[in-house]
Amino acid sequence: MLVYNSRLIGTTILSVQAGGPIGRINTPIIDPDNLKVIAFALEGPLVDRRQNILDVRSIREYSNYGIVIDDADELVAPSDIVKIEQVLNLNFDLLSLKVETKKGSKLGQIIDYTINSDSFLVQQIVVKRPILKRIVDPELIISRKEIIEVTDYKIIVKDEEKVLKSRAAKEDFIPNFVNPFRTQGQELSSVDVDDQE
């Protein structure tokens, strides 16, 4: 399931041992090398400030009720796991990064992104377009497959023409299912297509 980061923030963390909520997500910690959430920084009355990091490997389940873990003992200090400490020291934040094409064309700025709740990979980035381009297309949703490089200040994606062509190809897609209400051999006329829309 894909979850927007903006909806993930504030998600309740439920402990099986405590039998209820112990805190909520404050910020995801994303590894810029592979755009994967490796941990979450938590907050809440039952969360110790010194041990407020939840490694995603400790998550049992993600559901509509929240994220389920075994116990509050699963929470660690930032310095307890070397990889998490290294990523925290980078001070990397995906939001507000600029997005450019390989040719240098500016596409806009990241305002949100989606995370796969099974793998915790960032699947898509949502880009707010510059003022002049915003009239035609206020936001772009770019798949991780289009991302070429991630730096401290920007994300470089495949050329804009390729991104827009792939989106246009998806919009022009006509499903090839069999309509049970149409008799066999009946041609689909342009009137039928207009009526379906």
Domain boundaries, the chain: 2-88, 98-171
The residues of the chain scoring below 70 in pLDDT are 132, 134-135, 160-197
Mode of pairing for the β-strands spanning 98-101 and 154-157: parallel
Is the dihedral angle over the CA atoms 147, 150, 153, 159 positive or is it negative? negative
Name the amino acid, one letter, at 87: V
φ/ψ of residue 88, rounded to 5: -60, -40
Q: What is the pTM of this model?
A: 0.75
Question: Would you give the distance in Å from CA 193 to the centre of its chain?
Answer: 35
Proportion of the chain above pLDDT 90, given as a percent? 57
What pLDDT, on the 0 to 100 scale, is given for residue 129?
A: 86
What CATH architecture does domain 2-88 belong to? Alpha-Beta Complex (3.90)
What pLDDT, on the 0 to 100 scale, is given for residue 193?
A: 47
Mode of pairing for the β-strands spanning 12-15 and 147-150: unpaired
CATH topology of domain 98-171: SH3 type barrels. (2.30.30)
Domains 2-88 and 98-171 share a fold: no
What pLDDT, on the 0 to 100 scale, is given for residue 96?
A: 83
